[in-house]
């Protein structure tokens, strides 16, 4: 099929998170979608944060941050956390905030799945800093677990698409990963 050239500013579908950090001694949260796992062992995760974000100041101050996954019920609060800065309003007042093992990674009780993260590396980029950190612990509502693991059909993560700027829920599972492709294997090893 013929391909149409697009501008390089396009973005792939992304998970919607709330990044938390203590800034000037108080919890703050911002919406972030430029988030990805970057290493298997130790378990590292990275988030791209624009230099101007108040949350980034807290990540640099404390070396600690959190990532919480809001469900559909929290979409408006999440969007709000992406519209206004903690420099101007107390966004943490919207939430029931809790702390885990690191004691200084603010997390959100309404979010069914949260990670607390210790900063290990900062990659300085022209507009963003890419903060990479080790996941120290995950915290999940018991109700979203199936056989001890988070079950997306229960916690219903949000996905962001750009440039249409919309939040989505996941659709149906289409196949099992590391499995469905085996039909093409002809005896080759991994």
Ligand X SMILES: Cc1cc2nc3c(=O)[nH]c(=O)nc-3n(C[C@H](O)[C@H](O)[C@H](O)COP(=O)(O)O)c2cc1C
- Contact stretch for ligand X (CB under 6 A) within 24-32, 104-112, 113-121, 135-143: 24-32
Contact flag: residue 53 with ligand X (CB under 6 A): yes
Per-residue binding string, ligand X, 146-165, x by CB under 6 A, is --------------x-----
Using alpha carbons, list the distances in angstroms from residue 95 to 113, 115, 116, 136.
14, 16, 17, 22
Closest CB 16 distance from ligand X, rounded Å:
6
End-to-end CA distance of the chain: 32
Contact flag: residue 80 with ligand X (CB under 6 A): no
Among 44, 48, 94, 152, binds ligand X (CB under 6 A): 48
Count of residues near ligand X by CB under 6 A: 20
Dihedral (C-alpha) 62, 60, 165, 96: value to the nearest 10 degrees?
10
Contact flag: residue 120 with ligand X (CB under 6 A): no
Contact flag: residue 117 with ligand X (CB under 6 A): no
- Contact stretch for ligand X (CB under 6 A) within 83-91, 102-110, 132-140, 168-176: 83-91
Point out which residues bind ligand X (CB under 6 A).
Answer: 16, 28, 30-34, 48-50, 53-55, 79, 82, 84-87, 160
């Amino acid at each position: 099929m013929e391909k149409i050239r697009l501008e390089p500013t396009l973005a792939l579908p992304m998970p919607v998170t709330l990044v938390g950090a203590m800034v000037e001694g108080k919890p703050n949260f911002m919406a972030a979608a430029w988030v990805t796992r970057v290493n298997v062992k130790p378990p590292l995760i990275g988030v791209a944060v624009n230099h101007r974000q108040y949350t980034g100041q807290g990540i640099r101050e404390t070396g600690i941050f959190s990532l919480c996954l809001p469900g559909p019920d929290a979409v408006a609060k999440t969007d709000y956390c992406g519209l206004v800065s903690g420099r101007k309003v107390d966004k943490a007042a919207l939430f029931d905030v809790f702390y885990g093992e690191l004691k200084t990674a603010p997390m959100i009780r309404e979010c069914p799945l949260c990670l607390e993260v210790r900063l290990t590396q900062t990659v300085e980029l022209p507009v963003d800093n890419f903060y990479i950190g080790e996941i120290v612990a995950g915290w999940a509502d018991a109700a979203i677990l199936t056989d001890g693991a988070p079950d997306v059909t229960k916690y219903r993560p949000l996905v962001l698409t750009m440039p249409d700027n919309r939040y989505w829920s996941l659709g149906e599972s289409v196949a099992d990963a590391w499995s469905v492709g085996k039909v093409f294997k002809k005896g080759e090893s991994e």
